[in-house]
A and B are shown apart, each in its own frame.
Chain A
Amino acid sequence: MYPNNYRYTKEHEWVRLEGGTATVGITDYAQHALGDVVYVELPKVGAKVTAGKSFGTVESVKAVSEIYAPVSGEVTEINASLAGAPELINSDPHGQAWLIKVKGADPAGIAGLMDSPAYQAYVAEKEKEASA
């Protein structure tokens, strides 16, 4: 469910580092909590994002949710297909529905985030709280 080569935040974003480019999205847990996604607001190419700071919003029918950057850096690309098909976030959150690509991210910062087993344990704990 949660790819081993990704790292995860407590706010339910994921990041994947490949050749100096960090790709960022929201997790399956996040999309499920939101429900049907209908709108995504992303920064422009060239914008700076800061680790831990909001860089956009994802809106479902019911709710508005801020998305927090797992890394700092400059946006090199945004996922343009989400404007016409925001529901991709529900169907393929870890793949087709990536949100932004960032350059200049500090690899050490990424390595410090949760890995897949740690995130799965974190999510399991959240789900236990919710059904208590």
Chain B
Amino acid sequence: MTAPTTTQLRKTALHSVHRRLGAKMVDFGGWDMPVEYSGIIREHLATRTAAGLFDVSHMGEIEVSGPHALDLVQHVTSNNAANLRDGQAQYSGLLTSAGTFVDDLLVHRLSYAHYLLCVNASNQDKDFEYIREHNRFGAELENAGPRYSQLAIQGPKALAILERFTPVLIAQLKYYHFTFGEVDGVPCLIARTGYTGEDGFELYFSPEHTEKLWNDLLDAGRGEGLLPCGLGARNTLRLEASMCLYGHEIDDTTTVWEAQLGWICKPNKGDFLGRDALLAQKQAGVKRLLVGFEMQERLIARDGYPVSIGGREAGRVTSGSPAPFLKKNIGMAYVPAESSATGTEIQIVVRGNEGQAKIVPTPFYKRAK
């Protein structure tokens, strides 16, 4: 995290609403954000069993347009954006020439000549500069964060609650697809995406409508168990679904192969930043891999705790936490490739004591379809 400590924290359009709801606020990547309202466990379980509403307006948006938009997107990202159709989104990597992560992102194709990139809050300015530096194609670029608020409604009841607010047939929207339409009278980009492991939607719209949309969705959903959810639950939900978080599982020292994200790397699409380095790493053999583990005792693994195997330090925990829905203590860690098989016993060093853990298949949690 590169939060400036001397400058003012940035605020979303809902800042005063969060305060009024009694949210506990934290500095998240330079933004003053709600970490919890009624408690992380309650909010986590509401999202798994009913629905959760998240203010994710801190997320960054970058728009790439013009006749050469696709050339630039293809050059700076690892997945194949040429496979996208209008109204489709894909998870991808913004990579250094060494094949490590500048950021992870969602690429939305609005049209052949117009893409919306959704990037991490704390990386948005860095990402924008990086893409601009590599724009030798003459694509048009806009750091569009301030033009968007973003709300995520997630969970098994998300569709039913949101349907009441829009004439758009959102039930027919496929996962990782989006469309444009009014929600509660507000023009939105409505995407069937999320970061919780549940069905749900992410809405992108102009910030002046944020309070109205937030309040109306909350009021309408309360009866069905919809709760306002903070970044605390967002983190435990994404960890149960074993989704990567920038600065934890991935950063500028890790590659797609190491992070088990080979599916977002398409070397056959042509040249892109990091391609040669990634092909070379694959050729040479990937030495460490990201795995999921479950603690075998009550100790809780936390971010940064050392991993040891047979008494030797073997890696670090990237994210560790109690898993509120699974009711286990879980985590992710980098371990040597030869020790990464499911079932391998590893030890997590918790305050000087070795806690037994076992490598398990990921995702830890997968919703029933």
B197 interface residue (CB < 8 Å to A)? no
A43 interface residue (CB < 8 Å to B)? no
Count of residues in A whose CB is under 8 Å from the partner chain? 12
Chain A residues with CB under 8 Å of B298's CB are 39
Chain B residues with CB under 8 Å of A64's CB are 300, 302
A1 interface residue (CB < 8 Å to B)? no
Partner of A59, one of B25, B36, B232, B300: B300
The reply to whether A38 and B19 form a contact with Cβ atoms under 8 Å apart is no
B29 interface residue (CB < 8 Å to A)? no
Contacts A57-B351, A61-B41; is A35 near B36 (CB within 8 Å)?
Answer: yes
The reply to whether B40 and A36 form a contact with Cβ atoms under 8 Å apart is yes
The reply to whether A61 and B232 form a contact with Cβ atoms under 8 Å apart is yes
Interface residues of B in 287-313 (CB under 8 A from A): 298-300, 302
B47 interface residue (CB < 8 Å to A)? no
Interface residues of B in 1-40 (CB under 8 A from A): 19, 24-25, 35-36, 39-40
B interface, over-half SS: mixed
A131 interface residue (CB < 8 Å to B)? yes
A128 interface residue (CB < 8 Å to B)? no
Chain A residues with CB under 8 Å of B321's CB are 61-62
The reply to whether A35 and B300 form a contact with Cβ atoms under 8 Å apart is no
The reply to whether B322 and A38 form a contact with Cβ atoms under 8 Å apart is yes
How far, in angstroms, from A38 to B302 measured CA to CA in the complex? 13
The reply to whether B300 and A62 form a contact with Cβ atoms under 8 Å apart is no
Of chain A, the residue at the smallest CB distance from B353 is: A41
B236 interface residue (CB < 8 Å to A)? yes
B324 interface residue (CB < 8 Å to A)? yes
How far, in angstroms, from A130 to B19 measured CA to CA in the complex? 11
The reply to whether A62 and B232 form a contact with Cβ atoms under 8 Å apart is yes
- The 0/1 profile, CB within 8 Å of B marked 1, for residues 6-36 of chain A is 0000000000000000000000000000011
The reply to whether A36 and B41 form a contact with Cβ atoms under 8 Å apart is yes
The reply to whether A62 and B351 form a contact with Cβ atoms under 8 Å apart is no
Partner of B300, one of A36, A38, A130, A131: A38
How far, in angstroms, from A35 to B232 measured CA to CA in the complex? 10
How far, in angstroms, from A16 to B74 measured CA to CA in the complex? 66
Of chain B, the residue at the smallest CB distance from A59 is: B300
User: Nearest Cβ distance between residue A126 and chain B, in whole angstroms?
Assistant: 13
Chain B residues with CB under 8 Å of A61's CB are 40-41, 232, 236, 321-322, 324
How far, in angstroms, from A61 to B35 measured CA to CA in the complex? 12
The reply to whether A131 and B24 form a contact with Cβ atoms under 8 Å apart is no
Chain B residues with CB under 8 Å of A35's CB are 24, 36, 39-40, 232
The reply to whether B40 and A62 form a contact with Cβ atoms under 8 Å apart is yes
Chain B residues with CB under 8 Å of A60's CB are 40
- The 0/1 profile, CB within 8 Å of B marked 1, for residues 35-74 of chain A is 1101100000000000000000101111010000000000
The reply to whether A39 and B39 form a contact with Cβ atoms under 8 Å apart is no
Chain B residues with CB under 8 Å of A62's CB are 35-36, 40, 232, 321
Chain A residues with CB under 8 Å of B40's CB are 35-36, 60-62
- The 0/1 profile, CB within 8 Å of B marked 1, for residues 110-132 of chain A is 00000000000000000000110
How far, in angstroms, from A57 to B35 measured CA to CA in the complex? 22
How far, in angstroms, from A59 to B322 measured CA to CA in the complex? 10
How far, in angstroms, from A57 to B321 measured CA to CA in the complex? 15
How far, in angstroms, from A35 to B39 measured CA to CA in the complex? 6
User: Nearest Cβ distance between residue A105 and chain B, in whole angstroms?
Assistant: 26
Of chain B, the residue at the smallest CB distance from A61 is: B40
Chain B residues with CB under 8 Å of A57's CB are 351
User: Nearest Cβ distance between residue B15 and chain A, in whole angstroms?
Assistant: 12
Cross-chain pairs A/B with CB under 8 angstroms, 13 sampled: A35-B24, A35-B39, A35-B232, A36-B41, A38-B300, A57-B351, A59-B300, A61-B232, A61-B321, A62-B35, A62-B36, A62-B232, A64-B302
Give B contacts to A, CB under 8 Å.
Answer: 19, 24-25, 35-36, 39-42, 232, 236, 298-300, 302, 321-322, 324, 351
Give A contacts to B, CB under 8 Å.
Answer: 35-36, 38-39, 57, 59-62, 64, 130-131
Q: Which 10 A-B pairs have the closest CB atoms?
A: A61-B40, A36-B41, A38-B322, A36-B39, A62-B232, A61-B322, A59-B300, A36-B40, A35-B40, A39-B300
Can you name 4 extra interface pairs (CB under 8 A) apart from A35-B36, A39-B299, A39-B322?
A: A36-B40, A39-B300, A59-B300, A61-B232
